[in-house]
Amino acid sequence: MNAPASRLIAHLDMDAFYASVELLRYPELRGLPLVIGGGDASRPLLRADGTRSFARLRDYHGRGVVTTSTYEARAFGVFSAMGMMKAARLAPDAVLLPCDFDEYRRCSRLFKNAVRVLTPVIEDRGIDEIYIDLGDVPAARLDGGRAIGLALKQAVREATGLSCSIGIAPNKLLAKLCSEFDKPDGLTLLTQADVARRIWPLPARRINGIGPKASEKLASLGLHTIGDVAAADPAMLVERFGTSYGKWLHEAANGIDSRPVVTFREPKSISRETTFERDLHAVRDRVELGRIFTGLCEQLANDLKRKGYASRTIGIKLRFDDFRIVTRDLTLPERTSEARTIRRAAGECLKRVDLARRLRLLGVRAGALARLAEQIPPATATESIGKFIASEPAASCDQQRARSLPLFDRTEGSAR
Ligand code: DCP
Ligand code: MG
């Protein structure tokens, strides 16, 4: 066994994060089904009497996806990543609000800073989740982490007004699994001795790292629960899934995970993408596409600057109306975080694509990152990397005061 029994790790995940942040400013929506997603059209209107009028899901038309939903909306079967039109059929009366990433990032910083004061060894896993190493918290051993868990929840609530759920276990894998057990506002302690009773009955897919393909293959072998995988012959798993994944499956299903809490990790790339409200054509919708493209490059440049990085490889991602995905990238002579340079490079990439078909999605990516000379502290720089590609509809780019460069001009030839 390579997982030292002495470790104690917490996984903290905010409850219905974006939706809960919105409820702070619109408390009149508490208790109602609420969905976050869609563009500016779903922004609330202030009536003359000072009350607000909110958009309803039933009035939504477009191709946006649900970014998140409150637990009241989840009761209707509405979850993250579901198409909004489908969600509207399930919960037509649900209130709809657009995303406000700046505000979510601000709250993310607030809750992480509050945690850091109590327990400084944290691994940032994106905008709303962190791992915490409780190894250096002497009192945590006495009660399995209950008191420090409660203190962390209290600190997060005081700093943000928001609730979170925490799982505390001997490793990251178990901590992540059990932080979900008692959501929302939960605190779950789990020891290795609880694995058989509490972890093995769960579907194999619940393990972070067992995706749709692997779980399908496991199911075809008659392995449905984590317990089924744990009981499977490790040699068979290796034979079917390869040495490294097969071994990992056996260990993970047995609750073994020796990964450390990594306090800082450099991002490999940063990207922005958007799915259009309707398919756009490179020639016929040149102006609109150009504006969206510029907006994405400006957002990306802002992301790079805020996080303190410069990029040497700029790439684009296109999804056509037949769902085919095409990517192209370009290596620059020098690193950049400037919107104009990114726009120019991304435009060069675009010239290498046949744009005869209409486009559904456009994305811009900055890779080969290096820290800028005027560094910002790593803790600030990493926050929110991970889930930051959100399903923003194209409308949100309109806010960016995008300048329209004649980028799609050249594509007319290939589009004919
Ligand atoms: N998110 C997103 N796209 C997804 C899933 C999530 O943009 N496909 C965003 C919105 C969520 C936030 O990330 O509020 C955090 O994701 P979680 O999976 O933790 O979901 P929630 O915090 O909303 O709900 P839960 O209470 O289940 O954690
Ligand atoms: Mg969450």
What is the DSSP track for 238-299?
Answer: HHHH-HHHHHHHHHHHTT-------S----S-EEEEEEEEEEE-TTTTHHHHHHHHHHHHHH
Could you give the count of Cα atoms lying within 13 Å of 321 in the half-sphere of its Cβ? 11
Q: Is the CB of 128 under 6 A from ligand 1?
A: yes
The C-alpha atoms of residue 44 and residue 55 are separated, in whole angstroms, by 7
| Per-residue pLDDT tens digits for 252-287 | 999 999 999 999 878 899 999 998 989 999 999 999
Pairwise pLDDT comparison (275 vs 16), residue with the higher score = 16
Q: Looking at the DSSP assignment, which residues form a beta bridge with residue 123?
A: 131
Q: How does the average pLDDT of the chain come out, rounded?
A: 89
Q: What is the pLDDT of residue 6?
A: 77
- Of the pLDDT bands very low, low, confident and very high (cuts 50, 70, 90), residue 387 is very low
Task: Kindly give the residue spans of alpha helices, DSSP state H, lying in 47-202.
Answer: 71-74, 84-90, 101-118, 140-143, 146-160, 172-179
Asked if residue 332 lies in contact with residue 349, where contact means CB atoms within 8 angstroms, the answer is no
Let me know if 298 is a catalytic residue: no
pLDDT tier at 91, thresholds 50, 70, 90: very high
Q: Best substitution site from 12, 13, 17, 164 to test ligand 1's pocket, by max atoms within 8 Å of Cβ?
A: 17
pLDDT in tens, 334-385: 999 999 999 999 999 999 999 999 999 999 999 999 998 643 444 443 333 3
Alpha carbon of 405 to ligand 2 centroid (Å): 39
Q: How far is the CA of 165 from the centre of ligand 1 (A)?
A: 13
Do 84 and 37 meet the contact criterion of CB atoms below 8 Å apart? yes
How confident is residue 41, by pLDDT bands cut at 50, 70 and 90?
Answer: confident
Residue 124 scores a pLDDT above 90 = yes
Joined together, the tokens standing for residue 416 give 């004919």
Beta bridge partners of 327: 317
pLDDT in tens, 183-199: 999 999 999 999 999 99
Cα 162 to averaged position of ligand 2 atoms, centre (Å): 11
- Name 155's Cβ contacts closer than 8 Å, sequence gap at least 6: 114, 115, 117, 118
As a whole-number percent, the residues of the chain with pLDDT over 90 amount to: 82
Of the listed ligands, the closest to the CA of 15 is 1
- Establish whether residue 240 lines the binding site of ligand 1, counting it when its CB lies within 6 angstroms of any ligand atom: no
Q: Which of 22, 72, 123, 129 is catalytic?
A: 129
Question: For residue 242, is pLDDT > 80?
Answer: yes
The reported pLDDT for the residue numbered 373 is 66
- Would the CB of 13 count as within 6 Å of ligand 1? yes
Domains within the chain, CATH numbers bracketed:
7-199 (3.30.70.270), 202-253 (1.10.150.20), 270-415 (3.30.1490.100)
pLDDT of residue 407 exceeding 80: no
Query: How far does the centroid of ligand 1 lie from the alpha carbon of residue 121, in Å?
Result: 23
Q: Which ligand is nearest to the CA of 34?
A: 1
Ligand nearest to the CA of 388: 1
Per-residue model confidence as pLDDT tens digits over 50-75: 999 999 999 999 989 999 999 999 99
pLDDT at 47 over 80: yes
Give yes or no for residue 142 having a pLDDT over 50: yes
